[in-house]
Structure 1
Amino acid sequence: MLEITEGSHAVAEAVRLCRPQVVSAYPITPQTHIVEALADMVADGKLDADYMTVESEFSALSACLGASAAGSRVYSATTSQGLALMFEVCFNVAGMRLPIVMTIANRALGAPLSIWNDQQDSISLRDSGWLQFYAEDNQEATDLHYIAYRVAEDHKVLLPAMVCFDGFILSHTYEPVDMISQEDADNYLPKFAPKERLDAADPISFGMYATPEYYLEFRYETDKALKDAKSVIQAAGTEFKQMFGRDYSAMVEGYRMDDAETVIVAMGSICGTIKDTIDDLRTEGARVGLLKIRVFRPFPSDEVAQALKGAKRVAVLDKNISLGAKGAVALEIKDALYSSGIPVYDYIVGLGGRDVRKKDIREVVALAGKGQGDMFVGLRKEVL
């Protein structure tokens, strides 16, 4: 059913339809509307779940860890400094192979303090072992929660998942969203069946001390599970398309790529602005396309290399930066295209909520055409 709703409320409704048994989160801008809505649903009897109130984000994810280990389907949400406070627990959750789903309403990290959007928060946890999905719009953000649970809970994967969507730009924006029914959600997402769980009658341990003789193998198995998740993601996306008509079978998605000489690579809500700009540039004769990254972990290196094989140059728009190096997406793209000879130029944009306008994207295309890249775009002139 098509509804015009705020992005946060659409996500909360999707989470309700996924039937989590435990929700634990701590409010932080711009994530708060999601967990407020879920708290109301629990209080009103619309969601049969335990809503655990805690004193911090560290406690929130710790509570989720325990609930998931005990065999419950679990949900949380956070952003920015809240995700940073969860850092230790994020690694523990992945290492214990607990399929928690958590929404990240992407927001810049301090200092200086910012409540506005970029993707530095989730990108900073890219090495923690979580699946990472990035949404372009609120329809995609909503649908990716069903897929995230489906993939995370698959016994070939058993890893936690972040569904990332841009704070304020999407979380507080009203858009038409096609919500599925509870019956359809149940048909797509089966009841959670944990492979292992804490049980006093059959005791096991999670996250035990590992000596050097064993630790390496644990990291190997987590890495392998992430890579094996690619086929599970593709299968889950294909089935979603068959049931609901929206295709998430590919971890990357091209736009006007057939004859593109310059291909822009990006992820998140900025892709909408890029598409509009490409349409304008096409009318002027410029052969420009977009490759949207929907899944950042596991990184779809083979799919990226295949999609970009015909490009003359690649321009990556990164709403994050690995300080002292480049943007994280550009580093991955360079690795995927290492043997191709295709030049990859990185452009750091939109940090701390700085607007990225059509003129900025035009500038990026022009710079890439001149072979100029690996720079910040949109800096105030007095710092240049």
Structure 2
Amino acid sequence: MSECPFCRIAGHERVLFTLPGARVLCDARPALVGHVLVVSESHVPSAEDLDAVEYQRLRLAQQEAAARVHAVFGEVGVYEHGRSAICRFHCADRGDTHAHAHVVPVSCDLVERTGFITRLGARPPAEQLAETDRYVYQESGATPGAIWGFGGGHVRRHFVRSELHRVLEERGTRWVPLDAPPSEHRETNEESIRLLGVPAEPERSCLLTGHDPRLVELAARGAAHGLGWALVRPQSLLRHVARHEALSPGLSLAEVAAALTRAVERGTLRPGAEDSAEDAVTPALLAREEQLARDPGVWAQLDGLLQAVLRASPSVFADTRLASEGRVPGAGLVVRLADGAARPAGSTWQERHVDTAGLTAVQVAACVVQAWRLRLAATTPEPLIAAG
């Protein structure tokens, strides 16, 4: 829609990066340096009006933007005011409503400040959101948790900006007024582009984990194929450990792991892919594998080995273990898969959380590949696009 400010790009807005279904650009009138918007490709009132694939693409773009802001500023908040015409345009026909989220280097609880009656720490059912014209979604804090608020709250015009300004004023931090001269907004955006335009390249490894082992396995297989990376499984590492133990009597588990780590670093051992057919698998070897798999303390001792394997070549690690404790973090990025996933408290901004509701394993793998291409690409700001 040509009249929608998010369906066109005004002359003073700059795009950080794009991916199918979403783009990240500087706010036309930023509240401060680092203030960017995550905008859906589809013209819909809110993120909750997107289909499952589009919703996930928007959230992946949001998570990438948040990771960059956090890396530069050390603090980040993500805020979406759903059914945004109520908050921004006050149009009777809501013709200018377009799904978008604010990503800013400010962390505060906007849900509490808006006075919403209902406050949830997980994504509400679609039918529950359908009963309200407005909602607020936020991720904020050092250990970001997803918070939803809706039901009876009065949402003021530009409430995101006004509340952020109030917090910044309390901290004594400089902020840009809404009615500041256009040149001040342009200078703020130029600084945001300089700081956020090109991300630091992470280590090329990815860990996929989730509640459904079959989904994790299929998604990891598809992601490894799409990226052209090796697929690493816990079972293959445990098999190498059990086999090396059998060949090295008297060595402790830690000594076995250290020896295997050195072999991986020298390039004489490349565990992770499928074991070769000629490698004999004896009942004793299988029994030892099962014993290792049941012991949550084993993975603490194998952490160095896993990191060495992931550093040796670009790898996707399919963590299909059912236990939720003792998971080994990925060296590059962790992608957690769950039905109705919301970012849990305690997670880092280097994680991606994929809501698998309504997605096939192929679609989940495509989302993971998109997320990694954003991370690995040396993206540069797109040229200024003149209003027309």
TM-score higher than 0.5 here? no
Structure with higher RCO (Cα < 8 A, 6+ apart): 2
User: Could you tell me the TM-score, scaled by structure 1's length?
Assistant: 0.24
User: Could you tell me the TM-score, scaled by structure 2's length?
Assistant: 0.24
Larger radius of gyration: 2
